[in-house]
Chains A and B, each alone.
Chain A
Amino acid sequence: MSSPLSSRKDLLIDGAAVLSRWVLGGLFVWMGLQKALHPEPFIILVRQYELVTNFYLLNVISAVLPWFEVFCGLLVLAGIAVRGCTLVMLALLIPFTLLILKHALALASAGSLALCAVKFDCGCGNGEVYVCHKLAENSLLILLAAGLLCVHRRRWCARFSLW
């Protein structure tokens, strides 16, 4: 029989997990929609990163990625395939954060600026931002996603695991 203290602890962890899902899922939906509904600025930004030279690949990345973010965000909000989704989100967040850092370091070096003085549109869906704010935001999202991946909390999940 669980003690009141462990029940309270469970409730707090459950609450934190639900809040993390809503924050992570909500942000992914919001940022994905900003890009999906305005794909032209996004494709220009993706091109600036010079990840691909083939225009077809550029178009596919720019067209698919925003809607993919919305899809993952909706799944996490609803609590469906939570761990699989958060693993996919980590696979998106970590390389993208490193790419932003690399681009920011290049801009800082070119302009002889401090890293935190660099401001640019990273293609995240919220316009020009100071890079340090963006890195802090992404780090928080990575922590939330990693936490959800490790913590098996099914409260208010439509279908926590697909099997």
Chain B
Amino acid sequence: MKKVLLEALGVALVGTLVAFLANGLSPRGLVLDHDYFPSAGAARTSHPASGTHTNSPTEMLAASLKSVGLELIDSNQVLRLYHDPRRDQDLLLFVDAREEDPYAAGHIPGAFEFNHFHAEKYVATVIPACQVAQQIVVYCNGGNCDESRFAALALRDYLSGVSKTNLLIYGGGMTEWATNRLPVEIGERHSGRLLDYDAVATPGR
């Protein structure tokens, strides 16, 4: 039994070293000293005072975003911004905080891809565009998805002088957007390919 324990210890030690090395060499490896969820602790520890009424999930989300200096917008507000003429001039930007594959599968037309886990990939494209934009709407899947919050915080780190009113979080996210059958662009930004909801609903027809 002692030999088995020693063997297990050996496997564990060598395995740990190999794992660290593999993570370091992997192009998708995590950076160990990077906080991928900044201000998450502050946002999570806010509790309603005893005796107050129970807040709705939306109110709680708005309060938690406000605590980190971000503003939540709803579907009506996001639709107004989508139709705002400033969007055509790239003075109003949409930023998709999800990973590459969900982004390519469908995003709000004209939205930039910005995965905060690999923010350095987007320094040359997204950051310069955000620096001249007057307003930036960040979204992810919506619901329990936190990615838009962390993407917005990462963007704020890169952009100096970005005030609260410039960075907005669309709480409903892509799930709500698609549920409302709003335009969805497939592939890369400005690909021109829009999702055909009817074709998706009735395949083969």
Our verdict on whether A and B bind, yes or no, reads yes
Q: Contact between A71 and B19 (Cβ–Cβ < 8 Å)?
A: yes
Closest chain-B Cβ to A32's Cβ sits at a distance in Å of 9
Partner of A81, one of B11, B18, B26, B146: B11
In the complex, what residue of chain B is closest to A65 when comparing beta carbons?
Answer: B19
B20 lies within 8 A of A59 (CB): no
Known: A62-B30, A71-B15. A83 touches B7 (CB 8 A): yes
Mostly, the A contact residues are helix
- Assess whether B19 is in contact with A39, with CB atoms less than 8 Å apart: no
CB distance A38 to B28 under 8 Å? yes
**Stretch touching chain B among A7-15, A18-26, A84-92, A130-138:** A84-92
Give min CB distance, B143 to chain A, whole Å. Answer: 13
Instruction: Decide yes or no whether A43 CB sits under 8 A from chain B.
Output: yes
Interfacial chain B residues near A40, Cβ < 8 Å: 99, 115, 117
| Cβ-defined contact, A67 with B4, below 8 A | no
Question: A91 to B146, alpha carbons, bound, how many Å?
Answer: 31
Q: Mark A73-114, 1 if CB is under 8 A from B, else 0.
A: 001000001011101100100000000000000000000000
Task: Tell me the complex Cα distance, A70–B19, Å.
Answer: 9
Q: How many residues of B contact A (CB 8 A)?
A: 36
Q: For chains A and B in complex, what number of residue pairs have CB atoms within 8 angstroms? A: 99
Is chain B's interface secondary structure helix, strand, loop, or mixed overall? helix
Q: B7 touches which one: A62, A66, A72, A161 (CB < 8 A)?
A: A161
Q: Which residues from 20 to 72 on chain A have a C-beta closer than 8 Å to any C-beta of chain B?
A: 36-41, 43-44, 47, 53, 55-56, 58-60, 62-68, 70-72
**Docked-complex contact B29 and A81, CB < 8 angstroms:** no
The answer to whether B11 touches A72 (Cβ under 8 A) is yes
- Complex Cα distance, B19 from A68, in Å, reads 5
Residues of B within 8 A of A37 (CB): 26, 28
- For chain A, residues 118 to 163, give those with C-beta under 8 angstroms from any C-beta of chain B: 149, 161-163
Contact B30 A59 (CB under 8 A): yes
Interface pair A81/B10, CB less than 8 Å apart: yes
One digit per residue, 1 when the CB lies within 8 angstroms of any chain A CB and 0 when it does not, for chain B 1-19 equals: 0011111111110111011
Q: CA of A43 to CA of B29 in the docked complex: distance in angstroms? A: 11
Interface of A toward B, CB cutoff 8 Å: 36-41, 43-44, 47, 53, 55-56, 58-60, 62-68, 70-72, 75, 81, 83-85, 87-88, 91, 149, 161-163
